[in-house]
Amino acid sequence: MEGRAQFIKLQAAGNGTLTIVNVYVAQTSRNRAFLWKAISRAEFDSDNTIIGGDFNHQEETSCRGIASGRQMHGREAASWHHMTLQYGLSNAWCLDNFRKMSKKAYTFDNGRSGASSAVSGIDKFMVSQDLDSRGGRIESTISIKKFSDHSPLLISIWGQATDTGNPARYFDTSMLEEAEGKTALLQALARDTRPHPVTKAGHPGWKRP
């Protein structure tokens, strides 16, 4: 989908390859589903992957503690889960290894007050497992209304792993409610035989079916 995603592949000395994908995702569920599928089909042959930008949806609510915004369902949810499982992606904001440098959890603010006010965390960084184990810092900065109703989201990743154990990985257990999501999860679990923590829906970790 032209104009919605671009990527760059980097070679880091001694640290393998890194693919960074920048996205500006459509507001419709159908077009978002197409984009997740396109990214999955790209099959980036990299040691690590980061996908960041304006996702125009928020699949998780508990880790940020704010209103959810557009919810995923049907084909979009299935293609999203397939993509995150394929690249082993987790939302950096929800990971314990990434220190939150600000209390401000939202990145979008419609600038209104009262009952019509709305904020959400539709801008994010999804990071692969090794980057999760390295950890780092993430910060939602102040909004500059004259430029945008979105505020910059900044991320820093440490050069070496800070955790030698099994890093938490973020997957919404609602995917177990749909046949396609459950199939994708079972396939991923079959490829990954290491133990993972069992957690409630909306929290970091695996939950085995």
- Each residue of 158-209: pLDDT tens digit? 876 655 444 334 455 556 666 766 676 676 666 554 444 433 343 344 333 3
In the three-class reduction of DSSP (H, G, I as helix; E, B as strand; rest coil), residue 75 is classed as helix
Ramachandran angles phi, psi of 200, nearest 5°: -75, 160
**Could you give the dihedral angle defined by the CA atoms of residues 144, 35, 69 and 147, in that order, rounded to the nearest 10 degrees?**
10
Q: What is the pLDDT of residue 201?
A: 40
**CATH architecture observed for domain 5-191:** 4-Layer Sandwich (3.60)
pLDDT above 70 coverage of the chain, percent: 67
Q: What is the pLDDT of residue 22?
A: 93
Nearest Cα residue to 206 out of 172, 180, 181: 172
Contacts of 70 (CB under 8 A, 6+ apart): 27, 29, 56, 57, 58, 122
Domain coordinates of the chain in residue numbers? Answer: 5-191
Nearest Cα residue to 51 out of 110, 86, 7: 7
Average pLDDT over residues 82-110: 85
In the three-class reduction of DSSP (H, G, I as helix; E, B as strand; rest coil), residue 16 is classed as strand
Q: What is the pLDDT of residue 57?
A: 79
Contacts of 40 (CB under 8 A, 6+ apart): 79, 82, 83, 86
pLDDT tens digits for range 15-34: 688 999 999 988 888 888 89
**Verdict on whether the full-model pTM lies above 0.95:** no
Average pLDDT over residues 110-124: 77
Residue located via tokens 């995917």: 175
**Over 60: is that where the pLDDT of 82 sits?**
yes
191: Cα within 13 Å, side-chain hemisphere: 9
Q: What is the pLDDT of residue 185?
A: 65
Token code pair at residue 12: 């880091």
**For strand 123-127 and strand 48-54, is the pairing parallel, antiparallel, or unpaired?**
antiparallel
